[in-house]
Amino acid sequence: MNLQTRSQHACFGGRMGFYAHAAQATGTEMRFAVYEPPQASARKLPALYYLAGLTCNEETFVIKAGAQRLAADMGLVLVACDTSPRGLNLPGDADAWDFGVGAGFYLDATAQPWAGHYRMSRYLNEELPALVEANFPVRSDRRGIFGHSMGGHGALVNALRNPQRWHSVSAFAPIANPVAVPWGEKAFSNYLGSDRQQWEAWDASLLMRARPYPGLMLVDQGLSDQFIDNQLHPQALQAAADASGQKLELRLHEGYDHSYWFIQSFIADHLRHHAAILGS
């Protein structure tokens, strides 16, 4: 497997790095970021994968969330991937900020022209961990996943679909019931086609009702989030947990919005949640 190092920087006694590789799942170059805490020089550590939201890329989380200080304390490797393939110039892939480039929704598209390239779920579940585990000091038996907004959806859905691959999961302000909101309807109708039954396989609330995740889910949501009513629907997740017996800690925070100011305020609780399950 090829791996191109774009840059590396000393950070909290460890290493912040930016990488690229030719990805089979997407047929494009994909970029990702890895923070290796100081403990990584001595032994293999658990890896925690972060999925960013609409318009973001592999840099967003590592620049804005203030997570490295905590990961260095806790002995967690952080991995952040991009939000979609880039550079394909498929028709319509750059017309909107909530679809196409920067908006891959962490699923595997089945409709044309997206099916051959927008396979972010395959990328995230198989190709990226294989690459990371072959090239960085991380354990393959201890993986966590979390994310924000579209990336919160991605974290919940991929953990629910592949609980054997993701040993811990959490989310900030996830799109919790995408089949019922405009962002999800737009993405799913294009990526998956018009048969709404196909969409259910990528909806956290619906997946959870059918088969809960075998562990505690931590979800934080700001009550001043401008997208809470139209796009996020945390109450659907709570209802699904109530119906299915899913262990869910859904925390609603007065005054917090959808931004990384919100994420950084609660990132420590998320890293502790993952570290408690994954070890360090």
Could you give the residue numbers annotated as active site?
Answer: 149, 225, 258
Residue 92 near a second copy by CB under 8 A? no
First-to-last C-alpha distance (Å) of the chain: 27
Q: Which two tokens stand for residue 1?
A: 């497997």
With CB under 8 A as the contact rule, the residue among 257, 269, 277, 279 that binds a second copy is 257
- What does the CA dihedral 49, 212, 202, 30 come to, rounded to 10 degrees? 10
CB distance 31 to 82 below 8 Å: yes
Contacts of 150 (CB under 8 A, 6+ apart): 51, 52, 53, 54, 83, 103, 105, 106, 175, 183
| Identity of the amino acid at 61 | F
Residue 6 near a second copy by CB under 8 A? no
CB distance 21 to 124 below 8 Å: no
Distance separating alpha carbons of residues 13 and 59, to the nearest angstrom:
20
Residue 97 near a second copy by CB under 8 A? no
Q: Give whichever of 68 and 177 is closer to a second copy, judged by the CB atom.
A: 68
Residue 272 near a second copy by CB under 8 A? no
Q: How many residues does the chain have?
A: 280
Residue 12 near a second copy by CB under 8 A? yes
Residue 11 near a second copy by CB under 8 A? yes
With CB under 8 A as the contact rule, the residue among 16, 54, 159, 241 that binds a second copy is 16
With CB under 8 A as the contact rule, the residue among 4, 5, 6, 13 that binds a second copy is 13
Residue 253 near a second copy by CB under 8 A? yes
Q: Give whichever of 68 and 205 is closer to a second copy, judged by the CB atom.
A: 68
Q: Minimum distance from CB of 59 to a second copy (Å)?
A: 11
Report the interface residues with a second copy, using CB under 8 A. 9-13, 16, 63-64, 66, 68-69, 222, 224, 253, 255-257, 259-262, 264-265, 268
